[in-house]
Amino acid sequence: MINFKLLFDIIPLHPGQNIAIIEDSQDNFLELLKEFSQKIDATLHVKALGEREDASNNNLRIKSFSFEQPKYNIFSINYDFLFLCVSISEREDIEDVFKKIYRVMKNAGYLFAFVKKDEVSRYFELLEDTNYVALNNIDFDETIDVVIAKKMHGCRKV
């Protein structure tokens, strides 16, 4: 749990930011992210895999989500920070997923992807191929690293 909170140190404490999370509700990270976004007066969009009842209040929107949908930007909002908290390593279209995520992020926005330690170099390569820069990874626990990437703006259409 403490490792989740350390990720928030990367996010500046400015109000009005847009944060998104793609999750499948298998951990308590969502609750911590809700608290953090309320504390800094940020808008949080939860893209929940599977069937979930859509909900919306002041700074929180919950919407059902599928990687197969043609566009990920349902609310016409670009995100400053996007947390990918589900495993996509078995998917054949990982590069397409990163391209769709790229389109919903603000220029210089951050992507945080939770990946298995043995797949970090593969994800670095895929992210570089889809125009992400400033790739880093943080040791999260014994089996998981958090890959952090920044959206590069301008050079190439993705």
pLDDT at 18: 95
Long-range contacts of 67-76 (CB under 8 A, 24+ apart): 67/91, 67/93, 67/97, 71/100, 71/103, 72/47, 72/100, 72/101, 72/103, 72/104, 73/103, 73/104, 74/47, 75/45
Predicted confidence (pLDDT) at residue 158 exceeds the cutoff of 60: no
Predicted confidence (pLDDT) at residue 89 exceeds the cutoff of 60: yes
pTM (predicted TM-score): 0.90
> What residue spans define the domains of the chain?
2-151
Q: Which CATH number fits domain 2-151: 1.10.357.10, 3.50.40.10, 3.40.50.150, 3.40.50.1970?
A: 3.40.50.150
Predicted confidence (pLDDT) at residue 1 exceeds the cutoff of 60: no
Dihedral, CA of residue 72, residue 74, residue 80 and residue 83, to nearest 10: -50
Predicted confidence (pLDDT) at residue 2 exceeds the cutoff of 60: no
Handedness of CA 120, 97, 23, 87 (dihedral sign): negative
Confidence of residue 92 (pLDDT cuts 50, 70, 90): confident
Confidence of residue 154 (pLDDT cuts 50, 70, 90): low
